[in-house]
Structure 1
C-alpha cells in the first residue's frame, strides 16, 4: 500500500527537506572554498524530511538514502559589498562552474535518534573571462562526515512541533591538492594546485554542530529554522597557493556556517497536487574571518551571502523529491586576517543564484 503524506505532515517534512541541517554549504562562489563539505550544503532532504514524517507518527523508518545535487556559476566580483563592475568591462573576471553531488545515509534507531553519514563529491571548472586565460577542471571526493541526529522531544509531540540537534565528525578524506598546469606571466608553465574554490575538500579533521526547529501555525502553515556551523580547528591545510602577499602562501582551513528560516505550506484542495508543498524563506551562509577554534592564518576568502530561498517538495510513497533556488540579495567579501595584516582588501566572485535538488528513498 502506498503512503501519501497528509497536508500537515507534508508541511513539516518540507521544512527540513529543503533545509538539511547536516549539509555544508556556503557562500556561493569563491567564498565557499569547500562547498562539498556536507554539514551545511542543503543537499539532504531525506535525512530529516522523512524523519519529520515518521516523527509525527512515532514510527521507525529504518534506512533512508538520499542523493543530492547543487550547481552554481560564480562570476560577480565583490570587495566588501561593492560590486566590481569593471572586472566584467575589462574581461578580467574569473568564472567558476561548480557541480556538487552527495550521497546521504540516515538510519533511524529510535523515534528520536538517527545515525547519519554523508559522502560528497564535486566536479568544477575555473577560467578567466577572456579566452586566452588558463582553463582548469577539477573533481573528486570531498570530506566524509559521520554523526548522530536527535529530536529533543519524543515524537509525536502535543503541539506538533519539535527541536533537534546534530553532531558530526568530518574526516580528512577530501582531495585538497588537485593540480594542473599554469601558464606563467613571464612565459613557461608550472604544475600547481588549483584554486581552493574548486578543490573537492580541504583534507583536514573537523566537526559540526547543528540545530533545527519547526512549529505549525494556522492554515496548515509551518515556521522553520535551522542553523549549522562547521568547525575546522586546524590552522592551514598545508597546500601551497603560490600567492605573493605575505602570509598567503598556504591555504587556510576555514569554518563554515549556514542559517535558514521561513515558512512552508502544503498545496491543498487539488487532489492531483496531493503530496506537494511550497516554502519561502531566507538564507545566510558563509566563511568567517576568524575560526571559532584555533588560528586563522593562511589564505582564505571570508564573507557571506544573504539570499531569499523559494522551495518545493513532492512526496509519493517511499520517494521524496525536493528543490530550492536561493537567489542572492547581499554579497560581502570581508577582510581576512592576512588582508588586515597587509593593509589590503581582497575580492571574491559570487553567484547570482544556486539550484539545489534532492531525491530520497526510505526503506
Structure 2
C-alpha cells in the first residue's frame, strides 16, 4: 500500500471510530428506528483470494426486518421488578435501494415501514396499534478506494436527507380521567418524527486472515428541529409536546468465512443504538426518552450468487435511561423506559 493510500485508509477508519465512539443508545420505549445497511462484501465469493465487486449500473435492493418485545423496566441503568409491565412490540421493515453508477459512487434510498402495539398501563391507559411508512431517506454513498483493492479492505461514507414522510401524531382510544378519549400514541410508536434531518454514515471492512474480516458500521441522524408540536398528554413540566430527536447506530466486530462452505460466514461483534440526551444541532426540549443499549451481536451471512441473507441477534448487555433535558431543567424525577432483552434482525439483499 502506498503512503497516500495508507493515510487515506487511516483517516477513513478514524471517521468510523469517531462516529462509533459516541455513546450508543437504545431499543424498546426509546424511539430509535435506525436501520443497518447490508454488508455483503463480507461474504461475496472469493476468486484466488480476492473478493470481486459488482459491476457499475448495478441495482441492489435490501429488505430488512427487525422485531423485539420490550418489557424490562429501567430507571437509569437499574432494572426494577414491576408486576405490571408495559409491553411494547415492534416490527420495523426497511426497503433499501442502491444504484451504483460508478465503481465508487452510488445513489442510496431507504423506506422504513413501522408496525407496533403497546399496552399502556398509565394515563392515558389503553392498547395502541400503529402502522405506517416512516421517514424516507435519499442520499449518496462513496467507497474511498476503487474496488477491488490490493490490501483487501475499503471504507464507504454516505450522506442522506431524511424527509418527514412518516406519521408523527398517530392516536388510539384510551381511558383518561375516567373517559374514553383519542390520545396520542407513545413517541416510540410513531413511524415518523416530523422533522427534516441529515444522516451521515460510514462502513468498512479489512481482511485479517483467510476468509476473515474486521468490519465496522456507524450512522448518525441529525435532527435540528426542536419540537414538533404533537401533544403527549404528559403532565410533567416541559414534556407536553414531543421532541424531535437525534438517533444513532454503530456496530463492529469480526466476520469469519466457514471452511469448505463457500459464501457462508459467522460474525461476532458489539452493537449500540439509540437516542441522546441532547441533539448535536439545535435545542432538545420537549418529551423524549434518551436511552442506551449496548449489545453483543452474533450473526450469520449466506451468499448465493447475487443474493445475500443475513441474520443478527443482538443481546443486551447494558441498558440505561438517563434524564432528559426537561427532567434536568426542572429537577423532576428521572424518567423510565422499558427495554427488550434481545432483538432479531433479518436482511435479504439482491443484486440485479
- Aligned partners of 2:120, 2:323: CA distance in 1, in Å? 23
Q: How far 1:218 moved relative to its partner? A: 1.9
Runs of 4+ with deviation above 4 angstroms: 50-56
Cα separation, 2, equivalents of 1:274 and 1:221: 13
Alignment of 1:345 onto 2:341: no
For the pair 1:57 / 2:48, whether they are aligned, the reply is: no
Deviation per CA, 1:285-306: give whole Å up to 9, x if none. Answer: 1111000000000000001100
**1:297 maps to which of 260, 285, 289:** 285
Residues 1:76 and 2:88 aligned together: no
For structure 1, the residue ranges without an aligned partner over 5 or more in a row are 1-20
Could you tell me which runs of 5 or more consecutive residues in structure 2 were left unpaired when the two chains were aligned: 1-19
Q: Conserved in 1, the CA contact under 8 Å of 2:25 and 2:276?
A: no
Task: After TM superposition, give the deviation of residue 176 of structure 1 in Å.
Answer: 0.7
SS in 2 for 1:297: coil
Residue matched to 2:245: 254
TM-score under structure 1 length normalisation? 0.85
Residue 29 (1) aligns with residue 28 (2): yes
For 2:189, the equivalent position in structure 1 comes to 198
Q: Is the 8 A contact 1:34 1:202 kept in 2?
A: no
How many residue pairs align between the two structures? 323
The 1:322–1:61 alpha-carbon spacing in structure 2 relative to 1, beyond 3 Å, is farther
The answer (yes or no) to whether the contact 1:95–1:127 under 8 Å persists in 2 is yes
User: Could you give the per-residue CA deviations for residues 129-179 of structure 1, whole angstroms, max 9, x where no partner exists?
Assistant: 79xx51111110100000011111111111011111100000010111111
Aligned 1:66-215 pairs, distance under 5 A: 66-85=62-81, 87=82, 89=83, 91=84, 93-128=85-120, 134-184=126-176, 186-215=177-206
The match for 2:257 is 266
Give per-residue Cα distances to partners, 1:236-255, cap 9 Å, x unaligned. Answer: 12111011011101000000
Q: Over aligned residues, Cα RMSD in angstroms? A: 2.1
Name the SS of the counterpart of 1:352 in structure 2. Answer: coil
3-state DSSP of counterpart to 2:285: coil
Question: What does 1:218-297 align with in structure 2 at a 5 Å threshold?
Answer: 218-269=209-260, 273-297=261-285
Query: Secondary structure at the residue paired with 2:71?
Result: strand
